[in-house]
Amino acid sequence: MDIWQLLISGLIGLIGGLLSGLGGVGGGIFFVPALVYVAGWGIKEAVAASLVVVIFSSLSGTIRNIRSEDPINWRNVALLASTVAPASLIGVAVSRFSPDVVVKLAFAALLVVLAYPTARGRPPLRRNVL
């Protein structure tokens, strides 16, 4: 790894870490496109690296939230983990046999689906006043 690749990787890590800490964004939404289009990695390698990075981001967020006023709902964590883990394994299996273009299109579709409600915003809450 030459010095430029090291600097680019460090910058991507710094920005992704800040985004992760500020808003929970970083793993797939930032790291995968940054690694593919800025660092020149393959899509499958970028996805694999972002999954490892998410482990550390999630761990630091968990440690922060354990000490916060908004405690972690461990029941929800157990439910999500019990569904996410097997689904991730299925995704990895599908990815191994899919061409890179299929993985890129699936990732792009996910980003577009996530971008729409984010750009639209949440509708204001209606409060029932008696």
Give the tens place of pLDDT for each residue, 105-129: 888 888 888 888 777 877 776 666 5
User: What is the distance between the alpha carbons of residues 33 and 53, in angstroms, rounded to a whole number?
Assistant: 14
Domain annotation covers residue 81: yes
Condensed to tens digits (0 to 9), the pLDDT of residues 22-77 reads: 776 666 788 888 888 888 888 888 888 888 888 877 787 788 778 778 778 889 88
- The dihedrals phi and psi of 26, each to the nearest 5 degrees, come to 160, -55
Domain annotation covers residue 129: no
Domain annotation covers residue 125: no
pTM of the model: 0.67
What are the Cα distances from residue 11, in Å, to 35, 87, 109, 123? 11, 31, 26, 35
How many domains does the chain fold into?
A: 1
User: What is the distance between the alpha carbons of residues 71 and 49, in angstroms, rounded to a whole number?
Assistant: 29
* Domain of 73, in residue numbers: 3-117
Domain annotation covers residue 73: yes
User: What is the distance between the alpha carbons of residues 86 and 31, in angstroms, rounded to a whole number?
Assistant: 23
